[in-house]
Amino acid sequence: MARKIIIDTDPGQDDAVAILLALASPELEVLGITCVAGNVPLPLTTKNARMVCELAQRPDIKVFAGCDKPLARALVTAEHVHGKTGLDGITLPDPEMPLQDAHAVDFLIDTLRREAAGTVTLCPIGPLTNIATAMQRAPDIIGRIQEIVLMGGAYFEVGNITPAAEFNIYVDPEAAKIVFGAGAPLTVMPLDVTHKALTNRARVDAFRAMPGRVGPAVASWTDFFERYDKEKYGSEGAPLHDPCTIAYLLCPELFSGREINVEIETGSELTLGMTVADWWRVTGRSANARFMGDVDAEGFFALLLERIARL
Provide the whole-model pTM: 0.97
Contact 6, 111 (CB under 8 A): yes
CATH assignment of 3-308?
3.90.245.10
Q: What does each of the 311 residues of the chain score in pLDDT, given as a tens digit?
A: 899 999 999 999 999 999 999 999 999 999 999 999 999 999 999 999 999 999 999 999 999 999 999 999 999 999 989 999 999 998 999 999 999 999 999 999 999 999 999 999 999 999 999 999 999 999 999 999 999 999 999 999 999 999 999 999 999 999 999 999 999 999 999 999 999 999 999 999 999 999 999 999 999 998 887 666 666 666 677 899 999 999 999 999 999 999 999 999 999 999 999 999 999 999 999 999 999 999 999 999 999 999 999 99
Cis peptide before 12 (omega within 30 of 0): yes
Contact 128, 150 (CB under 8 A): yes
Burial 134-173 (b: 16+ CB within 10 A, else e): bbeebeebeebbbbbbbbbbbbebbbbbbebbbbbbbbbb
pLDDT at 18: 98
- Determine the pLDDT at residue 224: 85
Neighbouring residues of 205: CB distance < 8 A, sequence distance ≥ 6: 219
What span, in angstroms and rounded, lies between the C-alpha atoms of 98 and 169?
A: 29
Q: List the alpha helices (DSSP H) in 144-240.
A: 167-171, 173-180, 191-194, 201-208, 214-233
Domain boundaries, the chain: 3-308
**Which residues are known catalytic residues?**
241
pLDDT of residue 166: 98
